[in-house]
Structure formats: structure tokens, C-alpha cells
């Protein structure tokens, strides 16, 4: 399936920049369709988004939980598989892309070009047959 990555990148940047850095984490609304298009273009097909905070656990050498950390520090959304299981990797990826747009300081190239490179590098390679 072909995606117009320029359109996806531009609309995602516009969506993220419509919020300030502090308020985006606290939005309480249905996800914008551009988020699904972005996830699909990056290789995370058939995913759902719910509002929430996903935590990972720090474990001691014996496996006991000694603390936790937020996987989606900047994103208000948890990415889930179609069957309802949380997708920690996709949630972290979405969070990192949101952070990338919010805090990007590289002015040498347009932000949409940089984001397209991130999306392309996230898509899994086609297996060798």
C-alpha cells in the first residue's frame, strides 16, 4: 500500500502544533485520524488508540518490581493491538515522534522531511523470500 508521506507528515505536524507542549498530554478526546495513518505508514497496522497512561516496570536482578516509568510521557494515547493488548513498542514510538515534533531544534532541514525519514526508518523491511 502506498502512502503520501508528505501529506501524513504535514498533517501530523499541524495537529501536534495545534496544542502547546503542556496541554497535549492532557487532551481528552477521540484520536485524530492522522494518528492512525501515521502508525500505519510506520508499520503499525491494525492498531487502536485509547486515552491513558502506559507504564513499564523496572525490575531488580531477581525479577521483582522496583519502580516504574511512563512509556507515553508526552502522548495521551496508548496504542493497542486489535485484540485489546497494549503495544508498548508502538506506544513508545508514537510518544517519541510527538516529542520529536514538539522539541525539534534541527533547523537545517524542514521538519516534515525529518519526520518522513523517521517514519521510513520505522517501517519493517520486507522479508527475503
From first CA to last CA, the distance across the chain in angstroms is 19
Write b or e for each residue in 47-72: b if 16 or more Cβ atoms lie within 10 A of its Cβ, otherwise e.
Answer: bbbeeeebeeeeeeeeeeeeeeeebb
Does the pLDDT of residue 3 top 90, yes or no?
Answer: no
pTM above 0.75, yes or no: yes
Residues 6+ apart with CB under 8 A from 23: none
Angle at 47 between CA 42 and CA 49, to 5 degrees: 105
Q: pLDDT, tens digit, for every residue of 100-115?
A: 998 888 888 999 999 9
Grid coordinates representing 128 are 527475503
> In the prediction, which pLDDT does 5 show?
94
pLDDT averaged over every residue in the chain: 88
Amino acid at each position: 500500500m502506498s502512502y503520501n508521506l508528505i501529506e501524513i507528515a504535514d498533517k501530523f505536524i499541524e495537529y501536534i502544533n495545534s496544542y502547546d507542549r503542556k496541554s497535549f498530554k492532557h487532551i481528552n478526546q477521540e484520536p485524530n485520524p492522522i494518528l492512525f495513518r501515521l502508525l500505519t505508514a510506520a508499520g503499525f497496522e491494525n492498531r487502536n488508540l485509547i486515552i491513558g497512561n502506559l507504564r513499564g516496570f523496572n525490575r531488580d536482578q531477581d525479577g521483582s518490581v522496583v519502580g516504574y516509568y511512563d512509556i507515553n510521557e508526552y502522548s495521551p494515547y496508548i496504542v493497542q493491538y486489535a485484540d485489546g493488548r497494549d503495544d508498548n513498542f508502538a506506544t513508545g514510538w508514537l510518544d517519541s515522534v510527538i516529542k520529536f515534533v514538539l522539541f525539534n531544534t534541527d533547523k537545517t532541514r524542514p521538519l516534515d522531511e525529518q519526520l518522513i525519514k523517521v517514519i521510513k526508518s520505522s517501517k519493517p523491511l520486507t522479508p527475503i523470500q
